[in-house]
Amino acid sequence: MDAKSQDKSKYKPLTADEERVIVHKGTEQAFTGIYNEHKQDGTYNCKRCGEALYKSGDKFDGHCGWPSFDDEIPDAIVRKLDADGRRTEILCSNCGAHLGHIFEGEQFTEKNIRHCVNSISLTFEAVKMPSENYDTAYFASGCFWGTQYHFQKQEGVISTEVGFMGGHRDKPSYEQVCTGNTGHAETTKVVFDPNKISFEELTKLFFEIHDQSQLNRQGPDIGTQYRSAIFYCSEKEKKTAENLIEQLKKNGYKVATELKPAATFWKAENYHQDYYKNKGGSPYCHIYQKKF
């Protein structure tokens, strides 16, 4: 038992059943855990310390009787070979809590990995539904890291996510989108408070942080996945975008931006979210230039 597991004073008290699994590395009975068939959107956290471990978008049915995930939140999990050398244990990196075991090569998902986790080792935090007074916009302007960087800095923006839209494949991976064969564009989802910032202001920012004249590329990034696009959620949004495009053209700018109705937004892998916020630095191909 490691030092983290021995120090109980700074973590949530555990029941006898929880301690049997989390501290003494036991296993709950298959098909009895509350999160085995759980499908709500949100985050699965460590029962012992509360640290975020898994996102609901990475959960799948492993047909094994325990919650299964094919990815983890970056740096949340530690892997450790069992004493018998046959299996790899997974633990919370923050407190050392035993979670379960990890398996590879089963072909359940394209990532070909399964985190088999005891429900008793987890708690769940549901996604907070946005206020009915919030609106959502979808913008594609090349690499979504840079697009998100600029939008998440704006007052009135409630949240941002990066993902894919406009293609023909369900649940595409980043690698699949990068082939250019899925039809998707790297897209940023922006939830905003229209009482603090308008769709028109967001769209102006969209045009001012990328080169809207480039077709199917943005700087050194080339391919249809890097195209400039606005996926509108209403005819009002479409009209606003059309008016701004006309303003740009009158001011001598070329515009290759496509306008398409919003479709299913497929969230990208966790390591793409908040990239510049987590890694530091600033975008190399999304530089603000005033155009209106």
Give the model's pLDDT for residue 73: 96
- Catalytic residue chosen out of the listed positions 46, 95, 116, 285: 116
Question: Does a structural domain hold residue 176?
Answer: yes
164 and 122 fall within a common domain: no
Give the model's pLDDT for residue 133: 83
- Catalytic residue chosen out of the listed positions 143, 178, 233, 285: 143
179 and 112 fall within a common domain: no
Task: For residue range 202-232, list pLDDT tens digits in order.
Answer: 999 999 999 999 999 998 999 999 999 999 9
The answer, yes or no, to whether residue 2 has pLDDT greater than 80, is no
Note whether 98 and 147 are within 8 A (CB).
no
177 and 120 fall within a common domain: no
The answer, yes or no, to whether residue 292 has pLDDT greater than 50, is yes
Note whether 140 and 202 are within 8 A (CB).
no
Structure token digits, residue 229: 């696009």
Structure token digits, residue 258: 């496509």
Give the model's pLDDT for residue 70: 96
Question: Does a structural domain hold residue 49?
Answer: yes
Percent share of the chain, pLDDT over 70: 95
Q: What is the CATH number of the domain that holds 222?
A: 3.30.1060.10
Question: Does a structural domain hold residue 248?
Answer: yes
104 and 233 fall within a common domain: no
Question: Does a structural domain hold residue 203?
Answer: yes
Give the model's pLDDT for residue 127: 76
Annotated catalytic residue 233: no
Question: Does a structural domain hold residue 5?
Answer: no
Among 126, 154, 184, the domain boundary falls at: 126
149 and 225 fall within a common domain: yes
Average pLDDT of the chain, as a whole number? 92
Among 65, 97, 126, the domain boundary falls at: 126
Question: Does a structural domain hold residue 291?
Answer: no
274 and 153 fall within a common domain: yes
Q: Which of 128-142, 158-172, 261-275 has the lowest mean pLDDT?
A: 128-142
Give the model's pLDDT for residue 129: 62
176 and 253 fall within a common domain: yes
Once rounded to an integer, what is the mean pLDDT over residues 164-180?
A: 94
Question: Does a structural domain hold residue 184?
Answer: yes
The answer, yes or no, to whether residue 6 has pLDDT greater than 60, is no
Note whether 108 and 62 are within 8 A (CB).
yes
Number of C-alpha atoms within 13 angstroms, CB side, residue 81?
A: 4
Question: Does a structural domain hold residue 242?
Answer: yes
Q: What whole-number distance in Å separates Cα of residue 233 and Cα of residue 137?
A: 7
**8-17, 78-87, 113-122, 277-286: which has the highest mean pLDDT?**
113-122
187 and 111 fall within a common domain: no
Domain span holding position 105:
12-126
Q: What whole-number distance in Å separates Cα of residue 23 and Cα of residue 4?
A: 10
Annotated catalytic residue 116: yes
Task: For residue range 96-151, list pLDDT tens digits in order.
Answer: 999 999 999 999 999 999 999 999 999 998 876 666 689 999 999 999 999 999 99
230 and 199 fall within a common domain: yes
Q: What is the 3-state secondary structure (H, E, C) of the chain?
A: CCHHHHCCCCCCCCCHHHHHHHCCCCCCCCCCCCCCCCCCCEEEEECCCCCEEEEHHHEECCCCCCCEECCCCCCCEEEEECCCCCCEEEEECCCCCEEEEEEECCCCCCCCEEEEECHHHEEEEECCCCCCCCEEEEEEECCHHHHHHHHCCCCCEEEEEEEEECCCCCCCCHHHHHCCCCCCEEEEEEEECCCCCCHHHHHHHHHHCCCCCCCCEECCEECHHHCEEEEECCHHHHHHHHHHHHHHHHCCCCCCCEEEECCCCEECCHHHCCHHHHHCCCCCCCCCCCCC
Comparing CA positions, the residue from 49, 47, 51, 57 lying closest to residue 117 is 47
Task: For residue range 66-94, list pLDDT tens digits in order.
Answer: 999 999 999 999 999 998 889 999 999 99
147 and 273 fall within a common domain: yes
Number of independent structural domains in the chain? 2
Note whether 76 and 51 are within 8 A (CB).
yes
250 and 187 fall within a common domain: yes
Tell me the pLDDT band of 8, cut-offs 50, 70 and 90.
Answer: low
Give the model's pLDDT for residue 41: 85
The answer, yes or no, to whether residue 236 has pLDDT greater than 50, is yes
151 and 67 fall within a common domain: no
Q: What is the CATH number of the domain that holds 69?
A: 2.170.150.20
Among 97, 126, 155, the domain boundary falls at: 126
